[in-house]
Amino acid sequence: MAKMMSNECIFSACNHGFDMKKIDKVSVGMIKLPTLSNLASSLTLRESSAGEFFGRPVTLRGQERRAGAQVAAASDAKMINGIGKSLRWWEKGLQPNMKEITGAEDLVESLSQAGDQLVVVDFFSPGCGGCKALHPKICQLAEMNPDVQFLQVNYEDHKSMCYSLNVHVLPFFRFYRGAEGRVCSFSCTNATIKKFKDALARYKPDRCGLGPPKGLEEKELIALGANRDLSFVYTPKGLEEKELTPPPLPSLAVAGSQSKLNAPLPLPLPRSLKSTSEMKKDSKDNTLVSFGR
């Protein structure tokens, strides 16, 4: 053993990082082995530097498990968020010129601000199979006609408003155009989509209106204003003119009596010009008044 150790050699203890220098004629008892504390400190330093152990990547089992748990939790959270944000069928494929109506005021304001633009009001219900089947084609037509405004009215959310507008069949469509107001209204399905396309081709051509956009009809506005379930106030046009026009002042003259008012009032005759009978009558009246009759 002493002869072997006397030769030049390099001592490596399990490749743990302590290489012995060249030993020349040294006995075994003089070899100084590293302690456990020194080994632990060297291992900690090696592990903390970029996760490598003597130039080799090291992954501990505990860290592997924690990393796997974090990845699994992140994927679960992503899946839950994806389910919560899943689009409903009437929200899929919407185009920039498609808008969902939030109430009666929103509908009236959208129609009044449309100008000469063609506006299509789409009444649908989430539980209507025909509405669901027709929705992709309506979105496709909206994409092909960006100059047409599409307004969506959810029947389930606005039942009272739909009752006031006499909408009882779904899917139902109404076309509005500028000063003309409502130009057509009909119900169609996926099988009768040609009716919708024909209405688009007929009322879409550019033309100037002769006045402000009409929007809903007067009777429909009155019905919406009278509906207690809606927060919509409307004053009929006749009442608006009466409120703006001040009431006429009461006239003192009666028709046909203007000449009488202009004539001078008769003056009482002097006492000397009165007849004897009149004087007697005056004296008699004075006597009656004096007696308290």
Q: Establish whether 188 is a catalytic residue.
A: no
Active-site choice (9, 14, 131, 208): 131
Q: Establish whether 131 is a catalytic residue.
A: yes
- DSSP letters spanning the chain: -HHHHHS----BSTTSS-BPPP--S--GGG--PPPHHHHHHHHHHHHHTTTEETTEE---HHHHHHHHHHHHHHHHHHHHHHHHTPPPGGGTT--TTEEE--SHHHHHHHHHT-TTSEEEEEEE-TT-HHHHHHHHHHHHHHHH-TTSEEEEEETTT-HHHHHHTT--SSSEEEEEEGGGEEEEEEE--STTHHHHHHHHHHH-S----SSS---S-HHHHHHHHH-TTS------HHHHHHHHSPPPPPPSSPTT-HHHHHSPPPPPPPGGGS-HHHHHHHHHHHHHHHTT-
Active-site choice (128, 139, 184, 188): 128
**Would you please indicate which residues are annotated as catalytic (active-site) residues?**
128, 131
